[in-house]
């Protein structure tokens, strides 16, 4: 008596995936990756921006304390004891002061660098005005 061959398996062929089935799976994975990767990059960029905003707000808070002690604003984050190392690869922090003004003023600017440059620059002044406003949500 001859063994029965399953209707889903032909004689001489092993069970498995065909080349076309594998190509379809690879194509689907490629489409999903093409959709997901830009979204991932956008979220990473937003996270870096949030880090820069946190540093800028810390500088602003320390500036007010420094003004009470030194009667002027500091022109470097290091004078305030604010650590910018976490964002240095993506933003350059600069502080512009005007001690001659009445009252004295300052503007903190985060200039985006490298891959973050697409996101744009951020500013925060002594009055708490943040620009561009849509980036500070």
52: in domain: yes
Q: Which domain holds residue 64?
A: 20-136
**What per-residue confidence (pLDDT) applies to 88?**
93
**What per-residue confidence (pLDDT) applies to 130?**
96
117: in domain: yes
What strand order describes the sheet that includes 91-98?
91-98, 105-112, 122-125, 130-131
Is there a contact between 121 and 133 (Cβ–Cβ < 8 Å)? no
**What per-residue confidence (pLDDT) applies to 115?**
86
119: in domain: yes
15: in domain: no
- Reading the block at residue 97, the tokens are 């002061």
Closest C-alpha among 82, 137, 89, 128 to residue 111 = 89
Task: Write the pLDDT tens digit of every residue in 80-122.
Answer: 999 999 999 999 999 999 988 788 999 999 999 988 988 899 9
CA distance 13 to 132: 65
**What per-residue confidence (pLDDT) applies to 8?**
58
Domain count, the chain: 1
Task: Write the pLDDT tens digit of every residue in 40-79.
Answer: 999 999 999 999 999 999 999 999 999 999 989 999 999 9
CA distance 11 to 63: 82
102: in domain: yes
105: in domain: yes
33: in domain: yes
Task: Write the pLDDT tens digit of every residue in 2-55.
Answer: 666 555 555 556 678 889 999 999 999 999 999 999 999 999 999 999 999 999
């Amino acid at each position: 008596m001859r063994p029965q061959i399953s209707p889903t398996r032909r004689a001489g062929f092993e069970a498995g995936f065909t080349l076309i089935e594998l190509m379809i799976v690879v194509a689907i994975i490629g489409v999903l990756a093409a959709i997901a990767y830009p979204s991932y990059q956008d979220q990473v960029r937003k996270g870096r921006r949030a880090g820069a905003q946190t540093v800028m707000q810390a500088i602003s808070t320390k500036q007010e304390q420094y003004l009470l002690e030194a009667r002027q604003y500091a022109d470097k984050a290091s004078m305030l004891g604010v650590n910018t190392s976490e964002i240095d690869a993506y933003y350059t922090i600069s502080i512009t002061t005007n001690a001659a003004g009445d009252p004295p003023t300052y503007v903190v600017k985060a200039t985006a660098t490298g891959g973050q440059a697409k996101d744009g620059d951020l500013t925060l002044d002594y009055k708490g005005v943040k620009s561009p406003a849509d980036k500070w949500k």
